[in-house]
């Protein structure tokens, strides 16, 4: 049996589901894409190819194994993009919440059924249909639960709006021991630099009480300010619009002092090292073209 345990974003990682890129299928059309960054690369003829994405994920797996992490991979669904396992489920404490994801992606959940079969059924939460939530919008931080959302009247107009008000209410009810704090994210179906697809596209805690933030990802300044005050201004690394676009906040912690990051994130990686953090640099710029990076590719199951 898998004894789930996730209390924060940074504690020593013991087990994770890492996505897989070996049968991603044909390049989507503009109409089939789920986010503005993918659309941009489809139109430019620079959309990533399978071999490059497989190589990047292999580099990620190698680092995880080096740090003695148990790595599960989804069962392969032919012609299906299964890179972003963070979207399909997420663990809070000793419970795993199954996401109500875009209908076109429901098969991806079936591909990790062999993992769910090893979890006590009483620890699996399937939200009702009206609850829209994806793991990229949910961050466990000790006694807090940070949730990215979009609750404006035009929610249904945005394919980039993934977590709704019903999800915030549901998580508050399911986890009464957590202080749930929600953040309105900036959404755009057409401009990648104006779109925070998930909370982890503009914010992530790292190390011992530090955080990466991008101000423009938040629709309401007071909510951004709350986060800055929560971590302390001196502990915040503010990323630029270009760095947000490149996915600088979507790195991944193996431990408080070990982080996997993209090798081109020079300014961020230098700052992390200045905090005493070991930075495992890998190539991941091709996968980033689909508006997801290292955190998006993982579903952590157990942290010490």
In 3-state terms, what secondary structure has residue 60? helix
pLDDT band at 157 (very low <50, low <70, confident <90, very high): low
Chain mean position to CA 224: 19
Contacts of 277 (CB under 8 A, 6+ apart): 206, 207, 256, 257, 258, 259
pLDDT at 24: 85
Q: Residue 5: inside a domain, yes or no?
A: no
pLDDT at 161 over 70: no
Give the range of the structural domain holding residue 238, as residue numbers without chain letter: 13-303
Q: Is the per-residue pLDDT at 31 higher than 70?
A: yes
The answer to the question of residue 40 being in a domain is yes
Residue 15 CA to residue 4 CA, distance in Å, equals: 9
pLDDT at residue 196, rounded to an integer: 78
Could you report the per-residue pLDDT of 5-14, keeping only the tens digit for each? 999 999 999 9
Report pLDDT digits (tens) over 251-293: 999 999 999 999 999 999 999 999 999 999 999 999 998 878 9
Residue 2 lies in a domain: no
Q: What is the pLDDT of residue 233?
A: 98
In a domain, 39, yes or no: yes
- Give tens-digit pLDDT for 199-231: 999 999 999 999 999 999 999 999 999 999 999
Express as a percent the part of the chain with pLDDT over 90.
76
pLDDT digits (tens, 9 = 90+) for 124-148: 999 999 999 999 999 999 999 999 9
Residue 104 confidence (pLDDT): 73
Question: Does any domain span residue 259?
Answer: yes
Asked whether residue 298 is domain-assigned, the answer is yes
Instruction: Check if the beta carbon of residue 291 is closer than 8 Å to that of residue 201.
Output: yes
- Smallest Cα–Cα separation from 213: which of 221, 222, 201, 230? 201
The residue with tokens 């630029």 is: 240
Q: Is residue 1 part of a domain?
A: no
Which is nearest to 97 in space by CA: 38, 211, 34, 178? Answer: 178
Q: Is residue 196 part of a domain?
A: yes
> What is the pLDDT, as a whole number, of residue 145?
98
Give the domain CATH number at 118.
Answer: 3.75.10.10
pLDDT score at 124: 98
- The better pLDDT of the pair 106, 8 is held by 8
pLDDT attached to residue 187: 78
Instruction: Name the nearest CA neighbour of 247 among 295, 176, 190.
Output: 295
Task: Return the pLDDT at 43.
Answer: 85
Q: How many domains does the chain have?
A: 1
Cα–Cα nearest to 139, from 34, 276, 8, 257 = 8
pLDDT above 70 covers a percentage of the chain that reads 97
């Amino acid at each position: 049996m898998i004894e789930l345990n996730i209390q924060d974003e940074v504690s020593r990682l013991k087990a994770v589901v890492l996505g897989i890129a070996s049968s991603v299928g044909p390049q989507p059309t503009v109409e089939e894409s789920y986010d503005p960054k993918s659309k941009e690369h489809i139109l430019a003829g620079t959309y990533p190819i399978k071999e490059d994405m497989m190589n990047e994920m292999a580099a990620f797996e190698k680092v995880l194994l080096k740090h003695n992490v148990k790595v599960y991979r989804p069962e392969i669904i032919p012609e299906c993009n299964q890179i972003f396992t963070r979207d399909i489920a997420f663990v809070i404490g000793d419970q795993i919440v199954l996401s109500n994801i875009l209908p076109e992606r429901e098969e991806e959940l079936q591909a990790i059924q062999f993992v769910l079969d090893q979890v006590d059924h009483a620890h699996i939460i399937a939200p009702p249909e009206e609850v829209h939530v994806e793991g990229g919008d949910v961050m466990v931080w000790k006694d807090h639960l940070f949730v990215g959302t979009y609750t404006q009247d035009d929610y249904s107009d945005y394919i980039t709006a993934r977590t709704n008000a019903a999800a915030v209410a549901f998580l508050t009810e399911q986890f009464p021991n957590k202080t749930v704090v929600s953040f309105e994210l900036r959404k755009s179906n057409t401009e990648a630099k104006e779109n925070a697809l998930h909370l982890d596209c503009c914010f992530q805690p790292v190390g011992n009480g530090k955080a990466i933030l991008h101000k423009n990802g938040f629709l309401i300044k007071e909510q951004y300010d709350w986060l800055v005050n929560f971590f302390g201004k001196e502990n915040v690394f503010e990323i630029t619009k270009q760095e947000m676009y490149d996915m600088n906040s979507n790195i991944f912690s193996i431990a408080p002092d070990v982080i996997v990051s993209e090798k081109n994130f020079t300014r961020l990686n230098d700052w992390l090292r200045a905090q005493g953090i070991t930075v495992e640099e890998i190539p991941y710029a091709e996968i980033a073209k689909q508006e997801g990076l290292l955190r998006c590719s993982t579903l952590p199951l157990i942290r010490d």
